[in-house]
Amino acid sequence: MDVTDSVAVLTSSVGIEAPVNSVDIARSLGLQVRFEDLPADVRGFFLENSNVIVVNAKDRQERQNFTIAHEIGELRKPKKMAALRREKWADEFAAELLLPHHLFVEYGRHAGWDLAKLKELFCTASWEVIARRVLKHHNCVITIIDNRKVYFRRGSGMKFPSKLMAEEIEAIESNSQVISDQCCVRCWSVVEETERVFLMTETVE
């Protein structure tokens, strides 16, 4: 079963609406969630014998939500899977659970894929999870600038240079939308642990 189907099976049994609260989902599956002081590099883990998901109490709430969704994914993944593949599967499961396919696509289209509007509705997911998810459903380039450096740049359904385009640099500098003959660039500035800028670049029809 793929990730989308697996999440659909789960959400059809527990019901789902945005924003998705993964603590509630874990509880409805008979799991306990415990918040504890853990080392800074540990997001969380599952205690098999007691059905408890332990989460780093110091993490941001969005990250805790993702960790819990990830651990739920680990429990529902297909049995035979290599360790690395398993982690990726659980991450995909978590993104799909926090941003359920049909809700995300419906609202995304309605909101013109405006990241700020998506973040408002799906507030339990992080900006990054939302931005990366848009690539699955909408043709654009997503660039994440973290502390003034390109940290993530990926596109779907269109060609783009690996380096930032002039319009994109202008959007970052002016902190506003830039439209040229070639493309339209939207820009969102966010302060998380670091200063981040999210860019969405689309071709102009």
CB of 67 vs Zn ion, minimal distance in Å: 9
Residue 86 or 101: the one with the smaller Cβ distance to Zn ion is 86
Q: How many residues make contact with Zn ion (CB under 5 A)? A: 2
Residue 77 or 119: the one with the smaller Cβ distance to Zn ion is 77
Rounded to whole angstroms, the Cα distance separating 93 from 158 reads 26
Window 59-98: contact mask with Zn ion (x via CB under 5 A)? ----------------------------x--x--------
CB of 88 vs Zn ion, minimal distance in Å: 9
What is the SS3 assignment for 45?
strand
Residue 94 or 121: the one with the smaller Cβ distance to Zn ion is 94
Residue 60 or 85: the one with the smaller Cβ distance to Zn ion is 85
Cα distance between the two ends of the chain: 37
Residue 87 or 170: the one with the smaller Cβ distance to Zn ion is 87
What is the SS3 assignment for 21?
coil
Amino acid of residue 110 = H
Please, are residues 155 and 142 in contact by the beta-carbon 8 Å criterion? Answer: yes
Using CB under 5 A, which residues numbered 159 to 178 contact Zn ion?
none
Q: How many CB atoms lie within 10 A of CB 132?
A: 16
CB of 53 vs Zn ion, minimal distance in Å: 11
CB of 19 vs Zn ion, minimal distance in Å: 23
Please, are residues 142 and 169 in contact by the beta-carbon 8 Å criterion? Answer: no
Please, are residues 108 and 99 in contact by the beta-carbon 8 Å criterion? Answer: no
CB of 74 vs Zn ion, minimal distance in Å: 5
Residue 24 or 74: the one with the smaller Cβ distance to Zn ion is 74
Rounded to whole angstroms, the Cα distance separating 46 from 32 reads 10
Rounded to whole angstroms, the Cα distance separating 6 from 70 reads 13
Window 105-144: contact mask with Zn ion (x via CB under 5 A)? ----------------------------------------
Question: Is cis: bond before 19, omega within 30 of 0?
Answer: yes
CB of 180 vs Zn ion, minimal distance in Å: 43
Task: Give residues in contact with Zn ion (CB under 5 A).
Answer: 87, 90
